[in-house]
Structure formats: structure tokens, C-alpha cells
């Protein structure tokens, strides 16, 4: 199992972190997997209007667990993925099994304001198209920049589980067209831009069809999202301490306790305490990858003891904290003395 945590920033940051993690270099805006870890590439294409496209065609030689960290900046990522291998595979998004059959394709949108976790099994062969939009751009496409309208279409909250949709024949055709445009085509950027807007239109048309309409009683308001973000900031501001009691948080959010619990779980898919524990583990992963020892990480995040931390870390990431690969020093594992 290889575990990679990276900032939820523009796609070039992901490519830089992957190159550092795998101890290789990018070729311009293209990351190529070292042979011992996989095959294929991730390529960034910058499009007009500040839109970014990340084109991916790859296979992997190990289990991977990616953690994209949340950010304060707001953008929306639209992902189309085509699983191609013949054997059974498994893809998990935010710990929910999304795919466990061969030769499947799916699409979803996510927000940078929420952590996204993504697990894949060894041997997966896939092609994917990722489109990064600013709030303004995606709002212009769907006709609204209201956060509740945008997040209602995102997989990175848990209001509803039908926001991951099958890739249609038209989506598949467009993804393959985009990936197939030669790098030396003088109109490549324009062609990718044109098809990216078209596939985005097709995605939202599918999202808003009768099969995928959101239930009205599950839609939250802009105020709900704002208040829960404030609560989230409070409980993650001091990860070495227990969060305030839920009654106190409800008062701060100007909600009843029952509404706070419901709304928080609707947005984050878990309870307040579980979210806090998950945030601690993700921060611990960042510390370890940045070169901190296990002992330093345990002390910094206020865990009771080494044994408790190790057990919970392995439960979360399926890897011992001593085995986490460090950025810039990945060939040497954490073989430290506790």
C-alpha cells in the first residue's frame, strides 16, 4: 500500500507532489510513472478561462490510497474515469466502495473545500479526464454560484449517494477523443477546451435528469453550509485537543443539537467526533510524509501513546506509520526507533 497526501491546489501541485513522492521529475506539465510503480502518465493542459484539464492514462503496480487535502480556496473538479482491466478491481471514494467490477466507467464532481480520499487496488488500468473549474466558471455553466446548488452536485458531501453517475456513451466518446488528440496538433488546446465544455454539459444534463434529482427534503441551505464550515474549523483548529462538547458547538452554530448532528453528518458523512479523528489521522499522514518521526507526530497531535496511534493509523490507511514514504526521501522507509 502506497499512501499519498497532497494539497488540493491546482493540478500542477499534484504533479509536483507525485514527482517528489516517486523521486522522479515532471516533463513540463507531464508526470510519467516510474516503471517500478506503474505505467502511463498524468498530463496537465491549461485551457482558456482558467480551466485546467488533467489527462490520465495509467496502470498501477501496488495498492494506492490518495488523500487530497481540503483548501480554503473554492474550485470544483469534474472527473470521468474508465476502468479497463479484465480482473475485478475496487475503487473507494471517501471510504465508500464505488467500483468493484471490471470494465466500468463513472463520473462525479467534487469540491476543493472537502477532503477527498481515493483508494484503488493493485493492477488497475484506467483512463481519466479531470476538469478543474473556478466557482465562477462552474456557476456560469449551471446558472448559479450559490454554494448549496453547487455542493448538491458534489460527491464530497453526503447529502445523497447518487451523485456518482455512469459514464454515458457520449461521455465515453468525448473522453477518448480528448485523450487521443496528438500532442503536436496545433489546435490541441482548442479541441480539448471545446470537448471539455461539451462533456461538462452532458454531465450536468445527466445529473439533473429524473433519475438523479435530489430529494427536496435533503437539500441544505447556504447558511447550513456556512455554519457547518465554521464548526469544522473549530474542531480542527487544535487537533491535539478534544473538540468542544456538541452542546457548545450547537450554540455556536445557532442550531439545535439534533439539527447540528443531522446537518454535519449530511455534509460530511460522519459524526463530529469521527470527523475529528479522521482529520487527526490525515494530519498525521502529512507530518510523516514531510519527514517527522512517529514519535514527533504522536506528541504533536496529542495521541495517548504510540500503540494507540499505530493501531488507529493502520486501521485508517492500512499501513504502519513507520512504512509511510517521505517526500524527497522515499527510497528510505521510516525505520526509526520509537
Span 234-269, pLDDT tens digits: 999 999 999 999 999 999 999 999 999 999 988 888
pLDDT digits (tens, 9 = 90+) for 123-155: 888 999 999 999 999 888 888 888 777 877 887
**pLDDT(88) > 60:** no
pLDDT digits (tens, 9 = 90+) for 53-67: 999 999 999 988 888
**pLDDT(15) > 80:** yes
Contact 207, 163 (CB under 8 A): yes
Per-residue model confidence (pLDDT) at position 179: 98
Bridge partners, 93 (sequence order): 96, 118
Residue 275: CB atoms within 10 Å = 21
Minimum mean pLDDT range among 215-219, 294-298, 310-314: 215-219
275 confidence band (pLDDT: 50, 70, 90) = very high
Q: What's the whole-number mean pLDDT along residues 277-306? A: 92
Contact 289, 327 (CB under 8 A): yes
**pLDDT(104) > 60:** yes
Distance CA 206, CA 194 (A): 19
Q: What cell does 228 get?
A: 457547518
The residues, any chain, with a CB within 8 Å of residue 321's CB and separated by 6 or more, are: 284, 288, 294, 297, 309, 310, 313, 314, 334
Q: What's the whole-number mean pLDDT along residues 8-33? A: 92
Taking all residues of the chain, what is their mean pLDDT, rounded to a whole number? 86
Going by DSSP bridges, is the β-strand pair 105-111/91-93 parallel, antiparallel, or unpaired? unpaired
Distance CA 154, CA 162 (A): 10
Contact 325, 64 (CB under 8 A): no
Q: What percent of the chain has pLDDT over 90?
A: 56
Which helix (H) or strand (E) segment is 129 a member of? Answer: strand 125-134
Per-residue model confidence (pLDDT) at position 116: 86
338 confidence band (pLDDT: 50, 70, 90) = very low
Q: What cell does 185 get?
A: 496538433
Per-residue model confidence (pLDDT) at position 336: 47
Contact 44, 12 (CB under 8 A): yes
Read off φ and ψ for residue 233, nearest 5 degrees.
-65, -35
* Residue length of the chain: 338
Q: What percent of the chain has pLDDT over 70?
A: 86
Distance CA 86, CA 6 (A): 30
The residues, any chain, with a CB within 8 Å of residue 112's CB and separated by 6 or more, are: 8, 70, 71, 73, 74, 75, 76, 77
**pLDDT(159) > 60:** no
The dihedral over CA atoms of 284, 91, 225, 316, expressed in degrees to the nearest 10, equals: -30
**pLDDT(281) > 80:** yes
**pLDDT(332) > 50:** no
77 confidence band (pLDDT: 50, 70, 90) = very high
Q: Tell me if residue 140 falls in helix, strand or coil.
A: helix
Q: What cell does 292 get?
A: 517527522
pLDDT digits (tens, 9 = 90+) for 165-211: 889 999 999 999 999 999 999 999 999 999 999 999 999 988 877 45
Q: C-alpha 266: how far from its chain's center?
A: 18
Amino acid at each position: 500500500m502506497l499512501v499519498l497526501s497532497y494539497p488540493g491546489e491546482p493540478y500542477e501541485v499534484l504533479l509536483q507532489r507525485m514527482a517528489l513522492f516517486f523521486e522522479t521529475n515532471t516533463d513540463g506539465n507531464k508526470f510519467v510513472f516510474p516503471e517500478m510503480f506503474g505505467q502511463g502518465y498524468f498530463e496537465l493542459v491549461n485551457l482558456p478561462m482558467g480551466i485546467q484539464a488533467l489527462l490520465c492514462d495509467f496502470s498501477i503496480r501496488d495498492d494506492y490510497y490518495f488523500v487530497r487535502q481540503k483548501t480554503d480556496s473554492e474550485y470544483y473538479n469534474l472527473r470521468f474515469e474508465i476502468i479497463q482491466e479484465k480482473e475485478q478491481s475496487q475503487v473507494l471514494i471517501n471510504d465508500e466502495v464505488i467500483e468493484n467490477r471490471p470494465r466500468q466507467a463513472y463520473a462525479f464532481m467534487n469540491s476543493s473545500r472537502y477532503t477527498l480520499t481515493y483508494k484503488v487496488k493493485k493492477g488497475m488500468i484506467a483512463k481519466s479526464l479531470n476538469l478543474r473549474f473556478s466557482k465562477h466558471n462552474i456557476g456560469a455553466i449551471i446558472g448559479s454560484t450559490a454554494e448549496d446548488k453547487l455542493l448538491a452536485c458534489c460527491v464530497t458531501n453526503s447529502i445523497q449517494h447518487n451523485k456518482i453517475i455512469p459514464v454515458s456513451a457520449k461521455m465515453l466518446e468525448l473522453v477518448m477523443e480528448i485523450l487521443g488528440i496528438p500532442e503536436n496538433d496545433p489546435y490541441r488546446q482548442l479541441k480539448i477546451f471545446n470537448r471539455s465544455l461539451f462533456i461538462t454539459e452532458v454531465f450536468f444534463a445527466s445529473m439533473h435528469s429524473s433519475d438523479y434529482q435530489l430529494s427536496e427534503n435533503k437539500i441544505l441551505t447556504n447558511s447550513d453550509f456556512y455554519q457547518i464550515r465554521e464548526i469544522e474549523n473549530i474542531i480542527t483548529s487544535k487537533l491535539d485537543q478534544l473538540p468542544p462538547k456538541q452542546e457548545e458547538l450547537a450554540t455556536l452554530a445557532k442550531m439545535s443539537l439534533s439539527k447540528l448532528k443531522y446537518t454535519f453528518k449530511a455534509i460530511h458523512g460522519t459524526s463530529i467526533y469521527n470527523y475529528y479523528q479522521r482529520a487527526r489521522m490525515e494530519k498525521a499522514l502529512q507530518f510523516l510524509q514531510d519527514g517527522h518521526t512517529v514519535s514527533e507526530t504522536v506528541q504533536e497531535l496529542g495521541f495517548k501513546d504510540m500503540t494507540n496511534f499505530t493501531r488507529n493509523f493502520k486501521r485508517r490507511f492500512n499501513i504502519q506509520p513507520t512504512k509511510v514514504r517521505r517526500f524527497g526521501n522515499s527510497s528510505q522507509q521510516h525505520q526509526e526507533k520509537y
